Structure 1
Amino acid sequence: MLLQSCAVNKYIPEGKRLYTGATVAVKSDSVIENKDNLEAVLEEALRPEPNSKFLGMRAGLHYYYKVQKENPGFINRFLYKKFGEEPVYQSDVKPYEVEEILLNRMENRGFFYSDVNSEFEETEKTASLQYTVRASSPYRIASYKLDSLPQPIYSEIKKIVAEAKLSKGMRFDLSNMKQERERIDRNLKEKGYYNFNNSFLIFEADTNQYDKKRFDLFLRLKKEVPEKAIVPYKISKINVYGRYDAQDSTVADVTRFNEKNYINSSDFFKPKYLDQFITMEEGQLYSPEDSRNTARRLSTIGAYKFVNIQYKEKDSLLSDSLGILEANIFLSPLNKRAIRAELQAVSKSNNFAGPGLALTYSNRNLFKGGETLNTTASFGYEVQVGGGGNSGNTSIDLGLKSELIFPRVIFPIKINTDFFKYSIPKTKTGVSINYLSRTQLYTLLSGTAQFGYIWQANKFVTHEIIPISINYTKPSNTTPEFDAILDENPFLKRSFDQQFISGLNYSFTYNGMVDATKTNQFFVNATLDVAGNSVSLFGKENGTGKKEVLGLEYAQYAKVDVDFRYHFKLGKEQLIATRLFGGYGYAYGNSDVIPYVKQYYSGGPYSVRAFRIRSLGPGTYSDENNPENNYFDQTGNIRLEANIEYRFPIISFLKGAVFADAGNIWNSKANPTYDGKDKFTSNFINELGMGAGVGLRVDVQGFVIRFDFAAPFHDPSLSEGNRLDFNVKETVFNFGIGYPF
C-alpha cells in the first residue's frame, strides 16, 4: 500500500518528464590514477539534484502532488511542510552549463583540452542524463622551484619548500597547490610572520621548455605585498589583565612576575598561579599555536567567562628584518559565588517515584588560584506506586557532597607543566556522605573520599586517574524481610558484608563526537577499577580467614569496562547511533564476590529499555515467586550490551527515535541460589535479552528530556522454545535525561 501511494508517475503533468539524475563516465586512452576519486569530484558538480528517494520511494515529491489537490487535508499539508519537495523536471536541467563546470574541474586537475558530451535517456515519464568525459593525458610537474624573494622570508620559505609534497612527476592539481600555500602560511606564522597571508603567494606554470605536457612550477610573491608581511614579529611586552571589565578599564595595580605585567590581578587571581597557564613569553617570536594554547588553557580554569588575546603592532619600531608586537590578554571573571537549585521528578523502572531537591553552592577562585568549590545538599523522597504487595514502600535519600578542584597538579614532586601544552591537569578532591532509608528493608549510611587528577591531552582524549578512592557503606536497621533475602542468597550476603573499598580508578576517553561536522563519529571509554591492593599491606586476619584494616573487612577486586559508540550522520539532524558495552569484574584475595555497589545490572532507561531496571538476568534466571524483591539480587560480574538507534527530527525541538537493544548480565562462577542459570557460557548469545521500541525527545539547546517505549522480543528468563516473542503487552516506559548513548 505504501509503495502504491508513493508512485508519483501518474501525477506528472502531460509533456513533462521527471528528472531522475545523472551519471559521469570518464574515458581515456591512458591509465588514470585514482579514477574513482576523479569521477566522485565530477559527480559533485552535477546540477540540479533529482528528487530524493528513500527505499525506492519519492515520498517528498508524493506529498507535493498531494497538496496540489483542492482539499489536501491536514496530514498531507503537515507532511509536505516537513518532507515535501517540488518536482525537478527534464526542462530544469541545463546540460551545457554542467559541461562547462566539468571541463573546468578537469582542467583544475591537469587534464587540459579534454572533451565532454551529454545524452538524455528518456522514458514516457522520466529522463536521466549521461555525461561522458574524454580525458586527455594530464600535464605533470617537471620541477618545483622558488622564485627570488627578499630576505629574511626567502630563507624561511626555502626551508619549508624543501619539505613540500609537490614533486617531479605529479599531475597538475590546483587543490594541491592551494594546500601547499596554506602549509607555507602555517609554517611562516609559527616563525613569527604575523601579517603574512597565503593569498600573497602565487604559482606560475611554464610549459615552454617541454613538448610532452610537462611544466616547471614556480612559487613567488605577488606584487605590492606590504613590507610588514614579509618580516617576523617579536613580542616585546605581555600585559595580563586579570580582572578586566570593558566598562571600567582603570589600571589600579601592576605586578611584574616572570617577565609579564599582571594588571589588576593580585587581589583576584595570584600571578604565580595564573602564570603557568600562559605559554607566551616576552622576547619570543609571535606564534599562533602559543596564542591558541594560552587562550584554551585559561578558559579551562573555570574562573573566567571571556578570554581575549589581542596584539598591538608597534609600527615605529618596524625594521626591514623585524617587527614588534605587544600582547594584551584580557580576562573577564565569572561571578565568584553562585547558588543553583534543581527540582527533580524521579521515576524509576522499579516503580519508585517521587520528588527530589538539590542545592549547589559554588565558589570560584576560592584561594585566588582558580580553585572551584562545589557543595551540594540533596533530598529525595520516593514511594513505590505499583507492584502488588510491596506497593507503598518508601525511600528517603539525604546527601551532602563537597568537591574542590585545583586547576594545577598537586603532587609531592614538582612536575614540569610545559609537557601539558594542550591543557594543564586538574587536581580533584572530594568527600561525600549519604543516608538512604528504605522502609521494610534497610538503612544505609555511606561515606566517600577521593583524590585524583583529570587531564585533557588534546581535543579528543581525556585521562582521569583517581589514585586514592575510599568508600565505606554501613547497612543497619535491616528488617526480617531483607534478612530473609540475604539468607536465601549467600553470594548477595557476602556482597553486603565487605563495604569498605579502597582502591584506584583510571579512565581513558576518546570523544570524536566533539567534531559534529564529521559523518563518522567515534567514542571510546575504557575504565579500570582496582581495589584492596594497597590496604592489604596493613591487613590483619580477623579469625574468619579474612583480613581487616582498622576493624573493617576490605574488598579486593579488579573491574574493567569498555564502552564503544559509533554515530553515522545521515543528514543535518538524522543519524544512526550504535553502542557496544562490555564489562568484567574479578574478585580475589579478601573477597569471594564483588561488593554489591560495584556489581553490574541490566535493564532500564540507559540499558536494555524493554526490561525494567535490574530485572534482566543474571543469565536465564527468573524469580517468578518473588518478582517484587528480585531487583536486589539480579546483579552479576559480567555485562554485555549492544544498542542501535535511528534518530530523526519531528518538528522544532521535538525529536523521534526507533531503537533496538540487546544485553544481559552473568556470573563467572555459578551462584547455587540461581540453580546455575546465571553462569556465563559459550551459549551467551541465546541468553541475551532483546527489545525494540520508539522514543520521543524534547531537545532544547542540548538539554534533552527523553521518553522511550520498548517491548521485549527475546526474553531469556523464559524456556528456550518460548523466548522469541514480540510481546507488546509488556511495553515498558522509560524516562531519562540526556541521550542514552
Structure 2
Amino acid sequence: MRIKKYIGLFFPLLIFSCSVKKFIPEGEQLYTGSTIQLESDLSKKESEEIQTDLEKLLRPLPNSKLLGMRFGLWAYYKGQKEKPGFINKFLSKKFGEKPVYLGQIQPERTSNILLNRLENKGFYFSSSIYQITEKGKFANLEYQVRISDPYILETYQILGGDSLPINQEIQMLMGRTIMKKGSRLDLDELKKERERIDRDLKARGYYNFNPDLLIFEADTNHYEDRKFDLYLRLKSNTPIKATFPYSIEHIYVFPDYNVHLDNGDGDTVSVSGIEFIQKPEIFKPELLQKYILFREGSKFNPEISRTTSNRLSNIGNFRYVNISYDVSDTVLREDGTYPLKANIYLSPLNKRSVRAEIQGLTKSNSFVGPALLLGYQNRNLFRGGEIFNLTGKFGYEVQLASGDREALQSIEMGLTGSLVFPRVLFPVPVMNRFRYSIPKTRISAGYEYQNRTDLYLLYSYNTSFGYFWNVNRFVYHEFNPISLSIVNLARTSPRFEEILNANPFLRRSFEQQFISGMNYTFNYNQLADPDRKNAIFIGATVDFAGNLFRGLNALIGSENPGSIFGLEFAQYLKGDIDLRYYKKFSAENVLVSRIFAGLGVPVGNSLSLPFVKQYFAGGPRSVRAFRIRALGPGTFMPQDTNMGGFFDQAGDIRLEGNLEYRFPFNKYLKGAFFVDAGNVWLYKENDALPGGKFTNSWAEELAVGGGFGLRLDIQLFVIRLDTAIPLRRPWLLETGPWQDRIWLGNRDWRRDNLVFNFAIGYPF
C-alpha cells in the first residue's frame, strides 16, 4: 500500500512538472500531428496497407511523447532559460527536442506528396483536402483523401521476338512473374518484376546483365474502364555482351593471398579442374576444393558464388575471402557463351596465437579473487583448416561479504583442449548435402581441479565428440553423440559431511561419478538480421545420459545395472527451451521478453540429477534480485546459513520469465528497467528440502524482483551493472511474501534488499 501511495503521488507531480504549454511563445501553436481519413472502395486489408504507407509520408513529425508527456520538448525549453543550471543543460543536451510549430507545416506540399504516392500505386486522379484543428496553444491536421479506382492489368507480354537468346530466356521466366492479370499499375511492383528477371537471368549465366536494361510500357488506349496492357522490352542501346550468358573457363585459387606481394609465383596444383597456386603449401588442395561449388564449364551463378564464399569463410582460417570474375576472352564460344575466369583470393589469419589474461572476479554470492587464463591456438594444424585450442586456468576466490555464513575459499585449476575439423568426420561422405555451411567436427577433452577449502576436493574429467553447423544465418544445430564426464569427490571435510548427511539428495548428486550420454542443441535467432523491426530467439536443448549403459547391462544380465567398470553412472532425461521476443520501438529502444523452462527427470538408479547438471536460479542472468544459487528449490530456505547452505539450492525443474526495457542515454551508455520472476523445484520429494518439490501451486512459489541497470556498450563487449530489489520471497509464503515497503534511506533495509550484479554482456 505504501508503494502504491508513493506512485500515486509521483506521477501527478511528474506530469505537472513536464507540462510545456506555458513555454510556447505567443503567436505560435505547437504541432501535435496529422491523421489521414481515407475514402475508398478497396478491401479493408488493402485500405489499411495504403493508409500505413501514406502515414509514413507525413512530415515533419511532431514532438515525441513518453507516457503521454513531451519530455524531450520540456527538456529543450528548460535548457533555453536565461540561467538553466547544470541539470537543465544536461537534460536539454541529451534529451532535448526542438519544438515543431504549426507554421513549419506545409499541408499543400504534403497533399501533393500523398497524391503522387497514390499515382505510383496505380490510383490516378485521386483527391486530397486538409483541415486544421486548433485548440489554444496546440494544433493538428487531418487529411481527407479520396482514392480513385486503380488501373488494372489485362495482358502482359514480351516485345522483341526470339532473335536473341535472352528474349527466349525471359519468355521462359514469365511463368514466375508477379505481374498477374488484375494487378494494379504499381511502380514498386514493376521494380520488383525487373529485379526478379535480373536475378533469374543472372542465375542462368547472364553475367553482364542489369535491371536498368529493361523497360516497361503501359497502354491504356484499348480500354475505357481503367485497364491497361503491359509490355516489356530491352533498351535499344543494350550492349550485345549483356544478352549472352557466360560460363567459367578457368578457376584459380590463391590460399595464401597477400595484396602487397606477387601471388602468381607459387607452385600450381590442379584438382578437379581447379588450379591452386601457393608456395609453400598452406592448405591441402584436395580438401579445399570440396568447399568450391562451381567447376569449369558451369555457367556463372551469383548465388552459387555467394554460397561458396560463405563456405570458405566458415572454415575459420581466412581473414577475408574474395571471389572475382574476369572476362577472359571477347570471342563468343561455340556453345553460345562468353568465357569467364574465376579468381578466389584467400587471405589467411595468423596461424598461431598465444593469449594471457588476468581477471579480477567478483560474483553475486560475494566471492572475489584473481584468475589467470593462458591460451594457445593453432589454426590450420594439419593444413586442412583444423583449429586446435589449449586453455589453462588458475583461480583463487574468497567469500568476503558472507553475511551470517562463514567465509569460504576456493582454488580452481583446469586444462581444456579442443580440436575442430572444418568438415564432417563420418564413415559415409555427407559434405555435399550441405550447401550453406559445412558442419564442423569438434573433439574436446578437459580436466578440472576444485578445492573448496574446509568442504571438499573434487576432480573432474570430461570429453566429447560432436558436430555443429549453420543451416542459414538464422538456424544453428549442435549434436554431440558422445559426451563423457567422470567426477571424483576425492576428499570431504567433517563439516561438508554434515551437509551431505542432512541432505541425501545432495549426497546422491555428488556420488554419481560417471555421466555418459548425448545432447542436441537448436537455435533460431532472428537477431542476425539487423534490419528486422521485431525479432525472436528460440533455443532448445535435449540431454540424455545413462540409457545406453543401462540397456547393455540389461542385455548381459549384469548384477549391478546401475554401474559400469565399477563406477556408478547417472541416468536422466533433460530438456529446456528458451523463448525471447525483441520488440523494437526504435534502433535502441527495445522491449525484451523472455520465458525459460527446463525439466530434468532422474530415472533408473538415479534419485536426482548430477550436481553439475542441476538448475540454479538467481544471479546476473536469472532472477537478479536474488544472489546466485540462493533461490529455491520451491519455498525452501536453508536454516543454518553458516554451513554453506547454497549447496542445497538447486533443482531438477526451472521456470523463469523476464521483461526488460532497454534505452540509450548516449552512444555508449545504455539503461534498462527490468522485472524477473522464477524459481527451481525438485522432481522428486526430498525430506531434507521441505517445500522443494514441484506441485500445482508452482505459480504461488515464484520469486519476483525488479530493478534498474546501466550498460557500457562499446560494441566489442558490454559491461553491465544491475541493481535489483526482491519484490516477492517465496519462502515467506505463509507470512506474506510481497515486499511491503521501499525504504532506500534506511541502511539496514538497503543491506538486506539491494542486490548488485556485475557482469559482461547482456543477460539475454
TM-score category, normalised to shorter length? over 0.9
Identity %: 48
Residue 48 of structure 1 is aligned with which of 57, 60, 70?
60
- 1:339–1:360 contact (8 Å) kept in structure 2: yes
Alignment partner of 1:26 is 2:38: yes
Distance 2:88 2:600 in 1: 54
Residue 445 of structure 1 is aligned with which of 459, 462, 470?
459
Who is 1:117 aligned against? 129
Distance 2:403 2:537 in 1: 42
Q: How does 1:466-545 map to 2 (within 5 A)?
A: 466-539=480-553
Who is 1:631 aligned against? 646
Residue 173 of structure 2 is aligned with which of 160, 179, 193?
160
1:380, distance to aligned residue in structure 2 (A): 0.4
Residue 656 of structure 2 is aligned with which of 630, 635, 641?
641
Who is 1:694 aligned against? 708
Who is 1:463 aligned against? 477
1:315, distance to aligned residue in structure 2 (A): 4.1
Distance 1:154 1:239 in 2: 33
Residue 290 of structure 1 is aligned with which of 304, 313, 316?
304
Alignment partner of 1:608 is 2:631: no
Residue 227 of structure 1 is aligned with which of 229, 233, 240?
240
CA RMSD of aligned residues (A): 1.7
Q: How does 1:1-12 map to 2 (within 5 A)?
A: 1-12=13-24
Distance 1:421 1:543 in 2: 46
- The letter of the residue matching 2:223 is Y
Who is 1:355 aligned against? 370
Who is 1:80 aligned against? 92
Q: What's the TM-score once normalised by structure 1's chain length? A: 0.97
Q: How does 1:84-123 map to 2 (within 5 A)?
A: 84-123=96-135
Distance 1:542 1:634 in 2: 38
- 2:550–2:561 contact (8 Å) kept in structure 1: no
- The letter of the residue matching 2:207 is Y
1:648, distance to aligned residue in structure 2 (A): 1.2
Alignment partner of 1:131 is 2:143: yes
Who is 1:196 aligned against? 209
Residue by residue over 1:680-715, the C-alpha shift from the partner in whole angstroms, topping out at 9 and shown as x without a partner, is 111111100000011111111140111111110110
- 1:713–1:727 contact (8 Å) kept in structure 2: no
SS of aligned partner of 1:386: coil
1:176, distance to aligned residue in structure 2 (A): 1.1
Question: Cα gap change, 1:137/1:719 in structure 2, threshold over 3 Å: closer, same or farther?
Answer: closer
Distance 1:266 1:407 in 2: 21
Distance 1:325 1:108 in 2: 40
- 1:265–1:271 contact (8 Å) kept in structure 2: no
Distance 2:104 2:364 in 1: 56
1:545, distance to aligned residue in structure 2 (A): 5.5
Who is 1:215 aligned against? 228
Distance 2:588 2:564 in 1: 55
Who is 2:76 aligned against? 64
Question: Cα gap change, 1:265/1:168 in structure 2, threshold over 3 Å: closer, same or farther?
Answer: farther
1:301, distance to aligned residue in structure 2 (A): 0.8
1:390, distance to aligned residue in structure 2 (A): 4.6
1:716, distance to aligned residue in structure 2 (A): 0.2
Distance 2:585 2:346 in 1: 40
Residue 693 of structure 2 is aligned with which of 669, 679, 698?
679
Who is 1:180 aligned against? 193
Residue by residue over 1:594-617, the C-alpha shift from the partner in whole angstroms, topping out at 9 and shown as x without a partner, is 111111111111110111111111
Question: Cα gap change, 1:546/1:487 in structure 2, threshold over 3 Å: closer, same or farther?
Answer: farther
1:123, distance to aligned residue in structure 2 (A): 2.0
1:457, distance to aligned residue in structure 2 (A): 0.7
Who is 2:10 aligned against? none
1:498, distance to aligned residue in structure 2 (A): 0.8
Who is 1:141 aligned against? 153
- 2:355–2:374 contact (8 Å) kept in structure 1: yes
Who is 1:382 aligned against? 397
Q: How does 1:379-418 map to 2 (within 5 A)?
A: 379-388=394-403, 390-415=405-430, 417-418=431-432
SS of aligned partner of 2:330: helix
Residue 757 of structure 2 is aligned with which of 711, 734, 737?
734
- 1:387–1:628 contact (8 Å) kept in structure 2: no
1:727, distance to aligned residue in structure 2 (A): 6.1
Distance 2:720 2:616 in 1: 21
Distance 2:333 2:442 in 1: 49
Residue by residue over 1:23-53, the C-alpha shift from the partner in whole angstroms, topping out at 9 and shown as x without a partner, is 1112136767610111111111111111111
Q: How does 1:293-372 map to 2 (within 5 A)?
A: 293-318=307-332, 321-372=336-387
Residue by residue over 1:91-136, the C-alpha shift from the partner in whole angstroms, topping out at 9 and shown as x without a partner, is 1011111111111111111111111111111122111111111122
- 1:692–1:712 contact (8 Å) kept in structure 2: yes
SS of aligned partner of 2:718: strand
1:316, distance to aligned residue in structure 2 (A): 2.4
Question: Cα gap change, 1:103/1:628 in structure 2, threshold over 3 Å: closer, same or farther?
Answer: farther
SS of aligned partner of 2:665: strand
1:414, distance to aligned residue in structure 2 (A): 2.3
- 1:538–1:549 contact (8 Å) kept in structure 2: no
Distance 2:395 2:179 in 1: 66
Who is 1:590 aligned against? 605
Distance 2:423 2:465 in 1: 13
- 2:404–2:642 contact (8 Å) kept in structure 1: no
- 1:693–1:709 contact (8 Å) kept in structure 2: yes
User: Which region of structure 1 is more displaced relative to structure 2, 49-58 or 400-409?
Assistant: 49-58
- The letter of the residue matching 1:241 is F
Distance 2:643 2:167 in 1: 80
- The letter of the residue matching 1:559 is K
Residue 669 of structure 1 is aligned with which of 684, 689, 693?
684
Residue by residue over 1:559-603, the C-alpha shift from the partner in whole angstroms, topping out at 9 and shown as x without a partner, is 001011111112121211111100001111232221111111111
- 1:239–1:328 contact (8 Å) kept in structure 2: yes
- 1:385–1:391 contact (8 Å) kept in structure 2: no
SS of aligned partner of 1:228: helix
- 1:542–1:548 contact (8 Å) kept in structure 2: no
1:164, distance to aligned residue in structure 2 (A): 1.3
User: Which region of structure 1 is more displaced relative to structure 2, 585-594 or 518-527?
Assistant: 585-594
Distance 1:587 1:297 in 2: 41
1:147, distance to aligned residue in structure 2 (A): 1.3
- The letter of the residue matching 2:380 is N
Distance 1:420 1:29 in 2: 50
Question: Cα gap change, 1:388/1:27 in structure 2, threshold over 3 Å: closer, same or farther?
Answer: closer
Distance 2:597 2:672 in 1: 24
- The letter of the residue matching 1:238 is I
SS of aligned partner of 2:688: helix
Alignment partner of 1:254 is 2:268: yes
- 1:241–1:265 contact (8 Å) kept in structure 2: no
Residue by residue over 1:173-209, the C-alpha shift from the partner in whole angstroms, topping out at 9 and shown as x without a partner, is 1111111111111111111111111111111110011
- Aligned residue pairs total 739
Distance 1:174 1:139 in 2: 12
Residue by residue over 1:619-643, the C-alpha shift from the partner in whole angstroms, topping out at 9 and shown as x without a partner, is 1111133355111011111100000
Who is 2:566 aligned against? 551
Who is 1:704 aligned against? 718
1:720, distance to aligned residue in structure 2 (A): 3.0
1:547, distance to aligned residue in structure 2 (A): 2.5
SS of aligned partner of 2:98: coil
